[in-house]
């Protein structure tokens, strides 16, 4: 959408440009309809459809090769968090997703930290909890890709609401928000946008991204 502050994103794609993959969406199709971004690795895809870290890597590379920007979703389950494995889980997810990419390609990736236990549950990570993981992810990417990490927006997702968005975006390590179920209600989404605008955002676009699935998650 040239000249607009709104860009179109897809929730899913296949890594192959064509072939016998009935029911799948190819990256060239997404580009043809005007998508700028493609969501990959969302927990619902991982859990409900068996999407693996390796498949996320392939999709990330395919989107970049076609000139689109992948929004790579990462996050731990409640059991993993209680076991103290949050950093281990997100490090593995991030490292595999970015494997084989050049620094220039990495600078075009968007990361979305979405703790699985917060998605669609009404539970939101506290600003400090979320920021801690965001800082860890930034250091991890910088270790492998240097200054390219500074260009990577790291969004927070997981029951983002008008009540929580200001506290989250006030954290300097949180670049923006990935809004799910709340974007189904126009008045709620507008309230999120208004409160986000009060805080301002840091880093490259997108500062606020929404995605809506049939379950409204």
Mean pLDDT of the chain: 90
Model pLDDT for residues 23-65, shown as the tens digit of each residue: 999 999 999 999 999 999 999 999 999 999 999 999 999 999 9
What secondary structure, in 3-state letters, does the chain show?
A: CCCCCCCEEECCCECCCCCCCCCCCEHHHHHHCCEEEEEECCHHHHHHHCCCHHHHHHHHHHHHHCCCEEEEEECCCHHHHHCCCHHHHHHHHHHHHCCCCCHHHHCCCEEEECCHHHCCCCCCCCHHHHHHHHHHHHHHHHHHHHHHHHHCCEEEECCCCCCCHHHHHCCCCCCEEEECHHHHCHHHHHHHHHHHHHHCCCCCCCCEEECCCCCCC
**Catalytic annotation, residues:** 42, 114
pLDDT over 90, % of the chain: 80
Mean pLDDT of 116-123: 81
CATH code where residue 20 lies: 3.20.20.70
2-11, 25-34, 79-88, 160-169: which has the minimum mean pLDDT? 2-11
pLDDT surpassing 90 at residue 181: no
Domain range for 81: 8-210
Please tell me the total count of domains within the chain. 1
């Amino acid at each position: 959408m040239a000249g607009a502050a709104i860009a179109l994103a897809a929730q899913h794609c296949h890594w192959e440009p064509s072939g016998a993959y009935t029911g799948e969406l190819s990256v060239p199709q997404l580009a043809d309809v005007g998508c700028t971004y493609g969501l990959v690795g969302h927990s619902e895809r991982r859990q409900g459809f068996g999407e693996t870290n390796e498949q996320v890597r392939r999709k990330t590379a395919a989107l970049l090769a076609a000139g689109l920007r992948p929004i790579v979703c990462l996050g731990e389950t409640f059991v993993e968090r209680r076991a103290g494995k949050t950093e281990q889980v997100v490090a593995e997810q991030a490292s595999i997703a970015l494997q084989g990419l050049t620094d220039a390609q990495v600078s075009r990736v968007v990361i979305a930290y979405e703790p699985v236990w917060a998605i669609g549950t009404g539970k939101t990570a506290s600003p400090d909890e979320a920021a801690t993981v965001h800082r860890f992810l930034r250091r991890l990417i910088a270790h492998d890709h240097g200054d390219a990490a500074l260009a990577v927006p790291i969004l927070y997702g997981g029951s983002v609401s008008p009540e929580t968005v200001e506290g989250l975006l006030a954290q300097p390590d949180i670049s923006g928000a990935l809004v799910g179920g709340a974007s189904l209600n126009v008045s709620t989404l507008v309230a999120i946008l208004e409160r986000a605008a009060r805080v301002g955002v840091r880093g490259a676009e997108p500062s606020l991204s929404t995605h809506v699935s049939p379950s409204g998650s």
